[in-house]
A and B are shown apart, each in its own frame.
Chain A
Amino acid sequence: MSHDRQEQNGRDSARGEDDTISRSIKRVYDQIADEPLPDSLRSLLERLKQGEPRG
């Protein structure tokens, strides 16, 4: 295998690893963002909308 080809394979491997990490961090982030809001937070937002910030 030529040196250039080996270097290219190394870059592809590193890029693939980065892509895997990127997909994983994005998936964790999206899972949390897609969760329903906890009751405490929904309650706070309702109170704020009604002008009762510290309820």
Chain B
Amino acid sequence: MSDADLRQEELVGHVPALRAFARSLANDASHADDLVQETVLKAWSNLDSYATGTNMRAWLFTILRNTFYSEFRKFRREVEDVDGKIAAQVPDRAAQDGVMDMRDFEKAFAQLPPDQREALTLVGASGLTYEEAAEICGCAVGTVKSRVNRARVRIAELLGTEKDKAENDPVTADL
């Protein structure tokens, strides 16, 4: 198998992860798959520029992210979910295993701004380091950490866990 074939095979192997990352940015499944298609086309035609031995997943995520934000700037109003319409379309994966109601979680996640969704996904789900996530996002490591932290706080607020925590806090519960 040639080097080009190996690169192509590796690219194909990253498509499932690309879909998951795209969904975190776009929320809408159809839009996310359009992003993946565009990313695959761009990456395939530029595989020669990919440096073998480096992180192809990070390279692909960067292409997808740039594609998303390029569209985002053009169609900002279409991707904002100000009235929760996209969040309301999140399919109900009602599986309950005692972790968290996934529908509630996905609705809360969908309400985060894109930069926080991508930071949380890159670091919390795709297994990338803060440094790798920062490189993909084109920002400082501290910025990624800040976005992840803000995303966690916001999700906790949206899910009401902050309230629960305050009520159970032995210091504030009786106030």
Contact = CB atoms under 8 A, between A and B. Distances in A.
Interface of A: 1, 6, 9-10, 13, 17-18, 20-35, 37-38, 40-41, 44-45, 48-49, 53
Given A24-B105, A25-B109, A27-B102, A18 B152 contact: yes
Nearest to B93: A31
Interface string B101-113: 0100110010000
B19 interface: yes
Interface in B46-95: 93
Contacts of B99: 20, 23-24, 27
A39 to B, nearest CB: 10
Given A18-B152, A29-B125, A44 B16 contact: no
Given A13-B168, A29-B24, 13 more contacts: A9-B170, A18-B152, A20-B99, A21-B156, A23-B99, A23-B100, A25-B124, A25-B125, A29-B20, A32-B16, A32-B20, A38-B33, A48-B41
Contacts of B102: 24, 27-28
Nearest to A32: B20
Given A38-B33, A44-B41, A45-B12, A25 B120 contact: yes
B141 interface: no
Contacts, number: 90
A10 B97 CA distance: 25
Given A23-B99, A32-B20, A45-B40, A40 B124 contact: no
29 contacts: A9-B170, A13-B165, A13-B168, A17-B156, A17-B165, A20-B100, A22-B124, A23-B100, A24-B100, A25-B109, A25-B120, A25-B124, A28-B20, A28-B105, A28-B106, A28-B109, A28-B125, A32-B19, A33-B17, A34-B16, A37-B15, A37-B16, A41-B36, A41-B37, A41-B40, A44-B40, A44-B41, A45-B12, A53-B41
